[in-house]
Amino acid sequence: MRQLALVLVAILSATAPVRAAEPQPPLLWDTGERLAKPDLSALPRLRFLTGTDFPPFNFLDQAGRLSGFHIDLARAICAELALADRCQIQALPWDELNAALEKGEGEAIIAGIAATPDTRLKYAFSRSYLQFPARFIAARSAAFAEPLDKALRGKRVGVLSGSAHERMLADYFGTATSVGYTKPDDLYTDLKAGKIDAVFGDGMRLAFWLAGGEAAGCCRFVGGPYLAPEYLGTGLAIAARPGDTKLTEAFDYALQQISARGIFAELYLRYFPVSFY
């Protein structure tokens, strides 16, 4: 099996009990790594470009104010870099962000751009600040003990057909019986009805469903969060103009410091109360 190629993020220690009622933030930064503190004293402005229609990352609240995880994260980065007085955040339609960056209307884009081989040709990127693990969910009454691949033997697991998660399920949890669906709603309906034993998919989307009224408290996460970059990519990063590595290195430094002091965890749990980690 290629199980060793799968990265299981250990949020708790191996001996600690896993309590689903206590949401856990992701731990993506090595706080012991020494990153150089940047000198951005000559930078006249740090303007982040973002969108308005990607809740809970960026959206307009009931008062019409720009809000969201990306907005608060940008402000925390500015504060960490001592640039609060020169920090700006401008919201634009998604399809206008790239042109605005190219024209110098902003210094960086924080809007959910994934760092891929194609996008790396257009942007310089910070390190990833958020990755989206694959997760299993099952009925609360279901018993799934570790190791999960053994617990899933012969179980019917729903997954979206043609997705990266379907390929992961086949490669890493081949003892399960994969049941393909074309619509998420049908997948959730069958899980609640007991027609399938579990669902495997994007942890963030599953977390939103678990927190929603449709789930009605029926189900929970089982097993751990699984990160497999070869299937799921490397996550979200802050994009700057090509070659602007000084700025992306500054973002890396700020993100590491924010993580070390618990600020990132606070923001994450504010916007993702049902943690997908």
Q: In whole angstroms, give the CA distance from residue 211 to residue 217.
A: 8
Return the CATH number of 133-232, one of 3.40.50.720, 3.40.190.10, 3.90.550.10, 3.30.70.890: 3.40.190.10
Q: In whole angstroms, give the CA distance from residue 94 to residue 90.
A: 12
pLDDT at 17: 31
- Specify the long-range contacts of residues 52-61, CB closer than 8 Å, at least 24 apart: 52/91, 52/92, 52/93, 53/94, 54/94, 54/111, 54/112, 56/271, 56/272, 57/111, 57/112, 57/271, 58/91, 58/111
Phi, psi of 229 (to 5 degrees): -55, -30
Is residue 233 a contact partner of residue 7, using CB atoms and an 8 Å limit?
A: no
pLDDT at 23: 57
The predicted-structure confidence for 145-192, as pLDDT tens digits, reads as follows: 888 889 999 999 999 999 999 999 999 999 999 999 999 999 999 999
Phi, psi of 272 (to 5 degrees): -130, 70
Q: What's the Rg (C-alpha) of the chain?
A: 20
Spans in the chain with pLDDT lower than 50: 1-21
Domain boundaries defined on the chain: 46-130+234-271, 133-232
pTM (2 decimals)? 0.86
- For the chain, the average pLDDT equals 89
Is residue 158 a contact partner of residue 135, using CB atoms and an 8 Å limit?
A: no
Query: Which amino acid would we find at residue 277?
Result: Y
Is residue 3 a contact partner of residue 172, using CB atoms and an 8 Å limit?
A: yes
Q: What is the CATH number of domain 46-130+234-271?
A: 3.40.190.10
| 46-130+234-271 and 133-232: identical CATH topology | yes
Query: Which amino acid would we find at residue 63?
Result: A
